[in-house]
């Protein structure tokens, strides 16, 4: 499924232990047109930090129905 990166900005990132942050930005590979990393604001998990997360580490995108 193709989803616009702009749509994913602000999504909550969750782990088995709970919420770990929100998606802030993306790093793209301009030669292969792929997302290499998500920049995540870690919120209360690691206050004041932003981390890079590989998109391969994500299990799924859970979209809310917009009715």
Residue at 16 is within a domain: yes
Task: Examine residue 42 and state whether it is found in any structural domain, yes or no.
Answer: yes
Residue span of the structural domain in which 52 resides: 5-57
| pLDDT tens, per residue, the chain with 67 residues | 567 777 788 888 888 888 888 899 999 998 998 889 999 998 887 888 899 989 888 877 776 544 3
Whether residue 31 lies inside any domain: the answer is: yes
Residue 26 domain flag: yes
pTM, two decimals, is 0.72
The token duo for 53 is: 């997360």
The answer to whether position 35 is within a domain reads yes
- The verdict on residue 66 lying in a domain is no
- At residue 16, the pLDDT reads 82
Specify the pLDDT at position 64. Answer: 59
According to the model, what pLDDT value does residue 39 have?
Answer: 93
Tell me, yes or no, whether 40 lies in a domain: yes
Domains in the chain, number: 1
Q: What is the 3-state secondary structure (H, E, C) of the chain?
A: CCCCHHHHCCCEEEECCEEEEEEEEEEEECCCCEEEEEEEECCCCCCCCEEEECHHHCCCCCCCCCC
Identify whether 64 is part of a domain.
no
């Amino acid at each position: 499924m193709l989803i616009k990166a702009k749509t994913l900005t602000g999504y909550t990132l969750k782990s088995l232990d709970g919420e770990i942050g929100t998606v802030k930005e993306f790093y793209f590979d301009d030669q292969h047109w792929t997302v290499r990393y998500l920049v995540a604001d870690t919120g209360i998990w690691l206050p004041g930090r932003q981390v890079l997360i590989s998109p391969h580490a994500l299990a799924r995108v859970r979209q809310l129905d917009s009715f």
